[in-house]
Each structure stands twice: as C-alpha cells, then as structure tokens.
Amino acid sequence: MADDSDVVICVRGLANSFGDQVVHEGLDIDVHRGEILGVVGGSGTGKSVLMRSIIGLQRPQAGSVEVFGEPMIDREEHEAKSVRRRWGVLFQGGALFSTLTVAENVEVPIREYYPGIDPVLLDEIASYKVLMSGLPEEAGPKFPSELSGGMRKRAGLARALALDPELLFLDEPTAGLDPIGAANFDMLIKGLKQTLGLTVFLITHDLDTLYAICDRVAVLADHKVIAVGTIPELLALDHDWIQDYFKGPRGRLAADVADRNAAGEVEAGE
Amino acid sequence: MSGADFTTDETEGGSVLRLSGDWTLAEASALGPRLAAIPGNVKTVDLSGVGHIDTIGAWLVHRLMRDTGAALTGANEDAGHLIEQVSAADRPLKIRPDHTPPFLRVLGEMGEATMQAGRTLLGLLGFFGAIMITSWHLIRHPRAIRFNAVVRQFETVGVTALAIIGLMSFLIGIVIGQQGAVQLRQFGAEVFTINLIGRITLRELGVLMTAIMVAGRSGSAFAAQLGSMKLAEEIDAMRTIGVSPMEALVMPRIIAAVAMMPLLGFYSSIVAMVGGGIFCWISLDIPPVTFVQRIREVVPITDMWVGLVKAPVFGLIIAMAGCFQGMQVEGNAEEVGLRTTASVVQAIFLVIVLDAFFAVFFTAIGWV
C-alpha cells in the first residue's frame, strides 16, 4: 500500500491566491510519519491557508496534495471520507458544535463513521477521551459557551482525537493560553504523540512550543517553504527572517529555557 | 488487517482470554456486546496475539480487566502504555446535563421568560431614557451631532428602501382596490372603492406597511451591526477613547429612522393610491382624472396627518428596538442572530400596539 511509505503529507507546487494577493506559489512540503512538524511564518504568509488546502477546505489554484499517498484535490466526497477518518483537526478556536455538550462533541465523529456502535461504549469512549485531553470530570456535560478558551481547545483536541487518528492538524493550539496552560498543552501533545504514534502538523507562533515539542520546523515566507529542518539546522541558515525569528529577544529566551530544561532532564536521568 | 477476535481457554482457577487480530475502533461495535457476555471468572487476558491496538481496543481490554479483575499478559510496550493511559482516564464523567422533569422544566422556562420580559421592558425604558438624555445634550450642543453618520443612515434607511417599499405599496394598493371592489359590487357601490383606497392607505396601511418593512430592513440591520461591534469590543474601544456610543452610533440611527419614516410612509401611501388608481382605471373603468377628483373630495386632510403623526413615532420605536437589542449582545455570535430576531419581533409588535392606541386616540379627537 502506498501509505506505508514514510511521507504522510506530500504537497507539490501548491498555488493559492485571493484576487491579486498571491499567498502561495510553487510551495512544496513533506511531513514524515511520526514527526511533529511545526509550521512558522509571519502573519499573512498563509499558514492557515496551507492547512486548509491540505485538509480540503480550500481548493488551490494549482499543485498537488497527497495525504497517506492519496491525492486529495477534486476527490469525490465518499473517497475523501476514507482519508478523513484517519486524521483529526483542531481549529484555532476549538470549533466545537455549540448545541452539543463537550462529551457529545467528542461522540460526533465516532457516530458519523461507526453508526452501529454500542451507546454505552460510545459514552465510555467519550469519557476517557475528554479526560485524556486534560479536562476535568465536570467539563463533560458543559456546553462550549460555558468553557474558557483553553478548555475549549482541549475539548477540540478531544474531538480531533476521537477516531484515534494517525495524523493530527493543530492550528495555533497554544495561542491565547496562559504560559502554564500552553506548557501543559505542549506536554499533552507530546505525550499523545508518543503514546498513539501520531504525526502532527502544527501551525504555531509560539517559540516555546517549537523548542519543546517540534521535531522539525518549516518556515513559510515569500509564498513558499523556504526552509525545513531542526531548529539548529535552521539557525545555521543565512536568512534574515529566520535569524530575526529565532535570534530575536523572544527567540533567545525560548532557546535558553529549552536548554535549561534539557539540562534538567539529563541531570534527572543520571 | 485482520478482524479482532478472542478465545476463552478454561484452566484451573479461571479462564484465560486470548485476544487476536487488530483491536481498533472499527472492530469495537462488534466486540462490545461479545465482551460483555463473558462470564466473570477471567483470570488472565493474553494480548500476545494482538496486532494493532488503538485507545478503543485498550479501553475494551481495560474495561474487561476492571470488571473481572483479570491480569494482563503478553502486552507489548505500546499496548501496555495505551492501557495504562486509558485506565488513568477512567473516571466517571457525565455526557449530558442532568435531565429535569418536563413539568418542572416548563415551569422554570415560564418563570425565566417572565423575568426576561420584565428585564427587557426595564432595559427598553432605561434605553429610552438614555436616548432622551442624549437628545437633550445634542439639542444644547448641536455641533456634537455626527452629520456624516446621519446622512449615511438617511441613505441606508431611506433612499435604498424606496424601490422595495414602492413595489410593495403599489401591489398593496392593487390588492385593496381589487378586494374592495369585489365586496362593494354586491351593494352596487363599486365607486366607493376609491374612498376605501384613499382613506385606508393614508390613515393606516401606508405607514404600517412601511414600518414593517423598515423594521425588517433597517431595525434588524441596526441590531446586527451594533451587536457585531459589541462582540468585536469596538464599542468598548469607543468608550475608552472617550467617544460616546450613544452619540456616535445610536443617535444617527434614531434620527435617520425618525426623519425617514414620515417621508417613506407618505411615499408609500401615494404609490399605493397610484396602484389602486390604475386598478380602478383598468378594471372599473374609472379614468385617472375622476379618481384623483374623487380622492380630493372623499379623503379629508386629517387622514394624511393621522399617517404622518404616527410615522416618526414608529421610526423611533423601530430604531430604539434595533439599537437596544444590538447593545445587549454579549458572548458569542449566536447571540447576534437571536438579538436581531428579537429586535424585529419587538419593533413590529410595539408598532402595532401603538397603532391601536393611535386609532382610538384619533377617533376620540374627532379625526374620523
């Protein structure tokens, strides 16, 4: 089977534009199995548009998108469904269904793809998914409007993980969270990735997240991916934006923290 | 991939459950009931035959072990880790809010609705007061009136409504003429169709239909605009800068609606009479000259005043309901939709209630 290969997402020659404004032009990107790929770029460089193109919410003007080795552009709805059940998407604001409780939100994808499932089992699955995503017990019967932004993101993550996906799309998961909540969220994603063997496509502005959990980072600028690699590899590149991004005051702080944490782990290991 | 399955081996002191295949979500619906039917004397669960396992499979194994107290063997590292993770998340969790009995729920909803109606009434009164205070301030300081905003609202409330209100009134005029003629023909009094058209459009229908149209077109737009501005914290930003939202947003809309309603109402009455006149010409063979002459004879000028006095009041009600509901928006985008609907319902309801009072009042002062 084609999807046994190492590359989970393969984008080639992607072009997107809105009116006169060109967002992507000849963009290539690969996401490998089992990695957390961070996507960074200035505001308006089309990070979210790239994600929407990959998951089929935005039809690109040109280029090809393959997920699990299957072409995704202009697919029939029922064909795309078989790929869709293998991924989960966390939108920026959580995008929970406002008329359903948190636990019912988690049940929606399972109900949709496995209508015959035993209702008791369904409720149990929803329960442990909600708890695994780090929400407290009392969050289950609450409606999205009763939750804080951070809880909504966790609930969105629980829903994204409902089908035990192999591939997870996260759009700025830590934006708007307090530093403690953001760090917990990072650790949650890292833990889930290790437990479930997830591949994660992560859009973020958060330097701490990049240092803490990303295996590789892709930099979007000038309508394409200008560089992909680990952070040390990127730092070695001579590109103004990358240098500014990682070596600016915030970048240096995040790097220091990451170094200290790494040192702490080594000491604790000894 | 192979289907998930299990076999039970009876041994001394309990049975051994040997699992095989892929224990994933796709298999769960078939496995659930079968696992539930297993007798409770399972001693060990053997995972060595399992291929792929996901959290749902791990959950099923965990549930089995929890219910039977069985031990786990043959699990590889991943499976062991997964089972550990799901068992850590095994705490009771409610899926839905508690269910209240229907009787109590109805009682509760009635109480809530009553409270809500009372609050809305109080809020509207307060808002009316705020409008009065702002108006008084603007009368004393006319330079604080935002003329650009007022003119812009004139355009959106008045000018752009001309086409739709004209078309609607024209058709209403024809309908009144046609229905009236059918009834009056029974008494051989077809000529009184002209009285009917002239008086009813000027006194009632012109202004009333216009009010309903303006409530649907502009009142709802006010609520939606102010509501989304409230959500985007634009109104809070205004306050912090020192701009009064009442002056900058609410008053231009109120002024526009109050000023435009009489004009639109008069225009609507005239167009309705034109429609009725054309109907009389074509269907009853009454030439336009006769029609106009009859209108002048049978319609007293007070009929026009009746319509024109009501119109600005209706305009005030519509703009007030729209702006009030818009300013009440809090929380999420859903609220904007609810408030917009509420503003239209409220405006039309209040307009019709006031119209009834006006009818009684004008009759009492002899404008019949």
Question: What secondary structure, in 3-state letters, does B161-229 show?
Answer: HHHHHHHHHHHHHHHHHHHHHHHHHCCCCHHHHHHHHHHHHHHHHHHHHHHHHHHHHHHHHHHHHHHHH
DSSP class of B98: P
List the structure tokens of A58. 């935005």
Reported ipTM? 0.78
Is residue B103 one of the residues assigned to a domain? no
Please tell me whether residue B96 adopts helix, strand or coil conformation.
Answer: coil
> What is the pLDDT, as a whole number, of residue A270?
47
> What is the pLDDT, as a whole number, of residue A48?
87
Alpha-carbon distance values, B198 to A31, A263, B28, B273, B319 (Å): 76, 91, 75, 6, 28
Residue A172's φ and ψ, nearest 5 degrees, are: 45, 65
Is residue B345 one of the residues assigned to a domain? yes
> What is the pLDDT, as a whole number, of residue A265?
63
Could you give the CA distance from residue A221 to residue A38 in angstroms, rounded to a whole number?
Answer: 14
DSSP class of A2: G
DSSP class of A248: S
Is residue B321 one of the residues assigned to a domain? yes
Please tell me whether residue A265 adopts helix, strand or coil conformation.
Answer: helix
DSSP codes joined into one string, B300-350: -HHHHHHHHHHHHHHHHHHHHHHHHHHHH--SSHHHHHHHHHHHHHHHHHH
* A121: contact with B, CB 8 A cutoff: yes
Is residue B98 one of the residues assigned to a domain? no
Spatial neighbors of B188 by CB under 8 A, at least 6 apart, are none
> What is the pLDDT, as a whole number, of residue B148?
93
**CATH code, domain with B34:** 3.30.750.24
Is residue B295 one of the residues assigned to a domain? yes
Q: Do A121 and B28 make contact, defined as CB atoms within 8 angstroms?
A: yes
Same domain, B128 and B269: yes
Averaged pLDDT, groups of 10, chain A, 270 residues long = 67 88 88 90 85 87 87 81 87 87 91 85 89 87 86 90 89 84 85 84 87 89 87 85 83 77 62
List the structure tokens of A202. 């992560």
Is residue B104 one of the residues assigned to a domain? no
Same domain, B54 and B124: no
List the structure tokens of A181. 């909540």
Same domain, B60 and B132: no
Number of helices (H), then strands (E), in chain B: 15, 4
Alpha-carbon distance values, B23 to A192, A218, B70, B283 (Å): 18, 35, 18, 80
Nearest CA in chain B to A198: B54
Could you give the CA distance from residue B265 to residue B236 in angstroms, rounded to a whole number?
Answer: 36
Is residue B257 one of the residues assigned to a domain? yes
List the structure tokens of B354. 């006031």
CA distance B344 to chain A (A): 24
Same domain, B260 and B137: yes
Going from N- to C-terminal start, the domains of chain A cover 2-86+165-269
The model's pTM is 0.75
Residue A15 pairs in a beta bridge with: A62
Identify all chain B residues contacting A131, using CB atoms and an 8 Å cutoff: 89-91, 93
Chain B residues interacting with chain A (CB cutoff of 8 angstroms): 24-26, 28-29, 32-33, 54-56, 59-60, 63, 78, 81-82, 85-86, 89-98, 331-332, 334
The answer to whether B35 and B60 are in contact (CB under 8 A) is yes
Is residue B111 one of the residues assigned to a domain? no
Residue ranges of A 191-230 with Cβ closer than 8 A to chain B: 195-197
Same domain, B83 and B175: no
Same domain, B198 and B79: no
CA dihedral sign, ordered A99, A101, A104, A105? positive
Could you give the CA distance from residue A47 to residue A39 in angstroms, rounded to a whole number?
Answer: 7
Q: Do A124 and B59 make contact, defined as CB atoms within 8 angstroms?
A: yes
Please give the order of strands across the beta sheet that includes A70-71: A21-32, A7-18, A62-67, A70-71
> What is the pLDDT, as a whole number, of residue B219?
96
Could you give the CA distance from residue B199 to residue B206 in angstroms, rounded to a whole number?
Answer: 10
The answer to whether B266 and B206 are in contact (CB under 8 A) is yes
> What is the pLDDT, as a whole number, of residue B271?
97
Best of B34, B91, B93 to disrupt the A interface (most A CBs within 10 Å) is B93
Same domain, B75 and B218: no
Domain count of chain B? 2
Same domain, B143 and B217: yes
Same domain, B60 and B127: no
- Which of B55, B94, B332 shows the shortest C-beta gap to A140? B94
- Positions of chain B with pLDDT under 50: 1
CA dihedral sign, ordered A148, A150, A152, A158? negative
Alpha-carbon distance values, A207 to A94, A213, B359 (Å): 21, 10, 70
Same domain, B191 and B334: yes
Please tell me whether residue A119 adopts helix, strand or coil conformation.
Answer: helix
CA dihedral of B266, B270, B272, B275, whole degrees rounded to 10: -170
Could you give the CA distance from residue B329 to residue B223 in angstroms, rounded to a whole number?
Answer: 9
List the structure tokens of B16. 């051994």
- Cβ count within 10 A of residue B10: 8
Residue B7 pairs in a beta bridge with: B18
Same domain, B314 and B240: yes
Superfamily of domain A2-86+165-269 in the CATH hierarchy: P-loop containing nucleotide triphosphate hydrolases (3.40.50.300)
Q: Do A130 and B54 make contact, defined as CB atoms within 8 angstroms?
A: no
Q: Do A103 and B55 make contact, defined as CB atoms within 8 angstroms?
A: no
Nearest CA in chain B to A136: B93
The answer to whether A215 and A36 are in contact (CB under 8 A) is yes
> What is the pLDDT, as a whole number, of residue B174?
96
Q: Which of A134, A85, A197, A107 is nearest to B55 (CA)?
A: A197
The domain boundary, picked from B33, B66, B88, lies at: B88
The answer to whether A194 and A36 are in contact (CB under 8 A) is no
The answer to whether A231 and A219 are in contact (CB under 8 A) is no
Spatial neighbors of A224 by CB under 8 A, at least 6 apart, are A24, A25, A26, A27, A28
Beta strands in A91-198 (DSSP E): 167-171
- Which of A126, A128, A132 shows the shortest C-beta gap to B95? A126
> What is the pLDDT, as a whole number, of residue A2?
41
The domain boundary, picked from B88, B109, B131, lies at: B88
Identify all chain B residues contacting A197, using CB atoms and an 8 Å cutoff: 78
- Cβ count within 10 A of residue B233: 11
> What is the pLDDT, as a whole number, of residue A66?
87
Nearest CA in chain A to B60: A121
> What is the pLDDT, as a whole number, of residue A264?
67
Could you give the CA distance from residue A39 to residue B333 in angstroms, rounded to a whole number?
Answer: 30
Q: Determine how β-strand A62-67 pairs with β-strand A36-41.
A: unpaired
Q: Do B54 and A107 make contact, defined as CB atoms within 8 angstroms?
A: no
Q: Do A120 and B32 make contact, defined as CB atoms within 8 angstroms?
A: yes
Q: Which of B135, B112, B128, B149 is nearest to B321 (CA)?
A: B128
List the structure tokens of B268. 């609507």
- Which of A116, A125, A137 shows the shortest C-beta gap to B59? A125
Could you give the CA distance from residue A64 to residue A11 in angstroms, rounded to a whole number?
Answer: 6
Q: What is the pLDDT of residues B291-315, one digit of tens each?
A: 999 999 999 999 999 999 999 999 9
Percent above pLDDT 90 for chain B: 67
Residue A175's φ and ψ, nearest 5 degrees, are: -65, 135
Spatial neighbors of B216 by CB under 8 A, at least 6 apart, are B344
Best of A97, A124, A161 to disrupt the B interface (most B CBs within 10 Å) is A124
User: Could you give the angle at the alpha carbon of B84 between the alpha carbons of B82 and B89, nearest 5°?
Assistant: 95
Structural domain boundaries enclosing B333 = 118-364
Same domain, B208 and B343: yes
The answer to whether A90 and A177 are in contact (CB under 8 A) is no
